[in-house]
Structure 1
Amino acid sequence: MKTISAEEFDRKFDAGEDISEYVDWSTATRPNLEPVELTVTIMRGTKLRLERQAKQLGVSVDSLLEEWLREKLDAARPSAAE
Structure 2
Amino acid sequence: MKAEELDALFDSGEDISEHLDLTTTKRIGTQPKKVNVDFPEWIVNALDIEAKKIGVTRQSIIKVWIAERLKAEQTHKAS
TM over 0.5: yes
1:30 to 27, 30, 36: 27
In structure 2, the partner of 1:71 is 68
In structure 1, the partner of 2:6 is 3
| Rounded Cα–Cα distance in structure 1 between residues aligned with 2:65 and 2:35 | 15
CA contact (8 A) 2:6 2:16 kept: no
Higher RCO structure (Cα 8 Å, ≥6 apart):
1
1:49 to 46, 51, 69: 46
Q: Which runs of 5+ in 2 are unaligned?
A: none
CA contact (8 A) 1:54 1:60 kept: yes
CA 1:52/1:29 → structure 2, altered by over 3 Å: closer, same or farther? Answer: same
Is 24-33 or 38-47 further displaced after alignment?
24-33
Code of the residue aligned with 2:26 in structure 1: it is T
| Rounded Cα–Cα distance in structure 2 between residues aligned with 1:50 and 1:34 | 24
Identity %: 29
- Higher-Rg member (1/2): 2
Q: Deviations over 1:22-44 (max 9, x none)?
A: 64322211112121111111110
CA contact (8 A) 2:51 2:61 kept: yes
Q: What is the total number of aligned residue pairs between the two structures?
A: 72
| Higher helix proportion (structure 1 or 2) | 2
